[in-house]
Each structure stands twice: as structure tokens, then as C-alpha cells.
Amino acid sequence: MRQVVFLIQTADRKGLLAEISSFFYNSGFNILQCRQFSDVRAERYFMRIALELNAEITRRELEEAFAKFAEKLELEYSVHHLEAKQNVALMVSKASHCLYDLLMHADEGDLVCNIPLIISNHPDLEYVADRFNVPYFCCPMEKGKKAEQEAKVLELLRSHRIDLVVMARYMQILSDDFIAHYPQRIINIHHAFLPAFQGGNPYERAWERGVKMIGATAHYATADLDEGPIIEQDVERISHMDTPEDLKQIGKDIERRVLTRAVRAHLEHRVIVSGRRTIVFS
């Protein structure tokens, strides 16, 4: 079955569900799933609608017809055809837990994507890539040569036709220019429950503050460090007996599951970005 997903947002008003669903029904499409959300406070309407492609109409004809319809209703939208797997690049440094989790879920088919390469600023995790038979590229970060290193990484991403970049504990700050090449297509995992403890050493600072709960946050990378739209979060309770090292160990499990859930939501086209926020459909 060939499927297509439309992600739609617009100013909220009466009749949107009826008008949009009627467009697809009258065009001969079978609606497989429809999720909608009206943000009363922001006066915005959001929809994710999945369709079975009609054999009598081409992709181009569908998109041209919907573009005219969307212009009339002032809809912002994106179209996603599901038969082609997305190419995902994993970027890592020295921590392996998120990398293992993503590779395992992709290998078992829980994450529907291709992972054509892993990029790192250290050689340490090449053995993990070898276990999953994924090419590993080490691009060291030398002092004063950040632009050159990022240029090499960008060329690797271009040559492998990458759709999504996942920073699976890649402990480098990406430049604004790098991020601009993949807007809303770079997912980062931050080892804290944002907006608390932004930046470096969050577990140490959480311990110093005496928090009773730690978490992790997966978000889209933006020019503002750790300020991108949040996709997924989770937490675990801790106690006064836990050391900073204990927090790091507990946090590993939170980080891997949060990042994998965020990547899955993106790959399944369930995320709509609205300003600094996201709408994530089930």
C-alpha cells in the first residue's frame, strides 16, 4: 500500500476538518488516519492526515491540486510519501548508549530508516559501527579548525543524501551555518530536563542543586543552544544518596529511550513545529 502523510497547520476556525477531509474524499482518496488538535490559546489548528494513494492520480497531480486548495484556505503544510525510507546520519563522540539503542531499533525494524553512516569526532566507537556493518567516519575537531571539520561533515551528509541528522551524544556545538543546512532535521539529546540545566555538566549541577528528579530532552537543534523545539522528554526519581556518577548512570537509560522515541516520531511524520513548540501526534 502506497501511503502519503500531510502535516497541516493554520489559523483555527470552524469547518476545517470537514473542508480538508472533503477535499481528499472528493479526490478519491481513502483516509487511513486523521489526527487533529486545536490550540485554543494560540488560535492555531493542526492536523496529521494519512492517505492511501489513489492509483489514478500521480504524486505531482496530487500535490498541485492540494497546493491550490491550501492557498485558498491559507494552510501551511508538508507532504511525506512513506514508501521511501529516510536516510539518517548518527553523530557521536565517546558515549555509546544512544548509538546502540538507535542501531538496534533500526536493525529490528522498529525505526524505519536507512543508516548509511556514523560520524564522530573521536575513533572510540568504530567497533560499534563494525558490529552493525555501518560505515564509520572519524572527523577530529582540532583547535581553530571548526569550520574545516564541519565542511567535511557536511560533504559526507550531502554525498549520502541524508534526510535527518541525529546527535546521539555528539558533544560538540554545531555552528549556525551547519544547522541552517538542516532546519528542523537535526535532533539532539540533552542530558537534562530542559529548560533546567542547559549547557555542560548538567548531572553535576543537578546534584549540586539537590534535585529529586532528573530527565533528558530530545529537541530540534537551533542556533540558540538547547533552546530548540522539544520533541520528547522523560524523567526518573533520584534521592539524596545518589552521587553525580549515579545520576549519569541513571540518566543513560533515560537518554536512550527519549532519543529513540523522538527519532521515531520524526520518521513517522508525527511532529509539527509551531514557533518554539512542537505538536507530536500519537
State CA 52 to chain mean position distance: 24
User: Which is nearest to 263 in space by CA: 105, 107, 56?
Assistant: 105
Separation of alpha carbons 241 and 264, rounded Å:
35
Phi and psi, residue 164, nearest 5°:
-140, 135
**25: helix, coil or strand?**
helix
177 is catalytic: no
User: Which is nearest to 79 in space by CA: 134, 141, 6?
Assistant: 6
Q: Is residue 24 within 8 Å of residue 49, measured between CB atoms?
A: yes
Per DSSP, helices labelled H in the chain are: 16-26, 59-73, 97-107, 126-131, 146-159, 176-180, 202-209, 244-267
Separation of alpha carbons 162 and 157, rounded Å:
5
Separation of alpha carbons 217 and 187, rounded Å:
10
Q: Is residue 174 within 8 Å of residue 186, measured between CB atoms?
A: yes
Q: With left for phi above 0 and alpha for psi between -120 and 50, is residue 155 left, alpha or beta? A: alpha
Catalytic annotation, pick one of 226, 234, 242, 253: 226
Name the residues annotated as catalytic: 226
